[in-house]
């Protein structure tokens, strides 16, 4: 058994922007509205190609981000996980903490995946059939509360029973991903109402600094962002003001 390597210690900022890498068939893709079949390899001024390491390095040239969120879409949809890409990114960028959603729903499989990896596993509610995995992994995991429109995806108690939540909880509104529609403040406020202690992370719809200010007003710890970074609506100067 490999000995787990320690994750880098990360001081908390007032609001943390977390770049998203959506991985599909070995490349970073442009996510939009949660319509995964339509996702295509990303074209971005930040990187020469859609190769994951190229895109990650391009983002780090924009700003010294401390965390990245990796959505392993092949794993989530049962086509085989992108573990080799995750491991290569972690090895090449040891200063970054990686949060990885790969669709795992079994506690033993989650522990096996984590063994020796310098990453945090995201438990996506859409992949769960019950509450056992979230309960078994405890505070070390990240829980993603996944929504499509107003519908919660996953066991209802994962949404409503904050006693099941770990320290870090993502509120993921898939229809707003890549939409430019703004974050779902009502769902974030509802989550904050259920738990005053959890660190909440917004995912989907962030357009720029005004949205980040609104999130800060809800005591949200950070936001998962992709499109606004690649199209320049969040600039290096904007990001520097958040540090």
140-184 confidence digits (pLDDT tens): 899 999 999 889 999 999 999 999 999 999 999 987 786 677 899
- 82 domain residue, yes or no: yes
Q: Look at residue 43 in the predicted model and tell me its pLDDT.
A: 93
Q: Look at residue 239 in the predicted model and tell me its pLDDT.
A: 94
- 2 domain residue, yes or no: no
Q: From the CB of residue 6, how many other CB atoms can be counted at a distance below 10 Å?
A: 7
Query: How far is 143 from 167, CA to CA, in rounded Å?
Result: 9
Give the chain's domain count: 1
Q: DSSP letter for 14, please.
A: S
- 4 domain residue, yes or no: no
- 11 domain residue, yes or no: no
Among the residue ranges 5-9, 47-51, 161-165, 203-207, the one predicted with the least confidence is 5-9
- 160 domain residue, yes or no: yes
Q: What is the CATH number of the domain that holds 193?
A: 3.20.20.70
Residue-wise over 81-103: b if at least 16 C-beta within 10 A, else e? bbeebbeebbeebeebbbbbbbb
- 5 domain residue, yes or no: no
- Tell me: pLDDT of 138 over 60: yes
pLDDT digits (tens, 9 = 90+) for 2-33: 443 443 333 344 799 999 999 999 999 987 76
- 119 domain residue, yes or no: yes
- 162 domain residue, yes or no: yes
Range of the domain at 55: 16-242
The model's pTM? 0.90
């Amino acid at each position: 058994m490999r000995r787990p390597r320690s994750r880098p210690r990360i001081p908390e900022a007032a609001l943390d922007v977390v770049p998203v890498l959506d991985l599909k068939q070995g490349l970073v893709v442009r996510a939009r509205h949660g319509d995964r079949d339509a996702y295509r390899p990303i074209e971005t001024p930040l990187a020469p190609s859609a190769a994951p390491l190229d895109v990650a390095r391009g983002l780090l040239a924009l700003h010294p981000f401390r965390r990245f969120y990796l959505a392993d879409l092949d794993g989530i949809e049962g086509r085989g996980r992108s573990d080799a890409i995750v491991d290569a990114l972690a090895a090449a960028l040891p200063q970054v903490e990686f949060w990885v959603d790969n669709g795992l729903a079994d506690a033993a499989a989650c522990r096996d995946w984590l063994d020796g990896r310098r990453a945090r596993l995201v438990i996506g509610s859409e992949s769960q059939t019950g509450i056992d995995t979230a309960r078994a992994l405890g505070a070390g995991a990240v829980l993603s509360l996944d929504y499509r429109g107003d519908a919660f995806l996953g066991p209802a108690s994962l949404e409503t029973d904050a006693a099941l939540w770990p320290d870090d909880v993502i509120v993921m509104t898939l229809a707003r991903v890549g939409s430019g529609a703004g974050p779902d403040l009502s769902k974030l406020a509802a989550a904050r109402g259920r738990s005053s202690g959890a660190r909440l992370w917004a995912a989907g719809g962030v357009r720029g600094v005004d949205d980040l200010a609104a999130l800060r007003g809800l005591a949200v710890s950070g936001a998962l962002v992709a499109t606004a970074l690649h199209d320049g609506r969040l600039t290096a100067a904007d990001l520097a003001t958040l540090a």
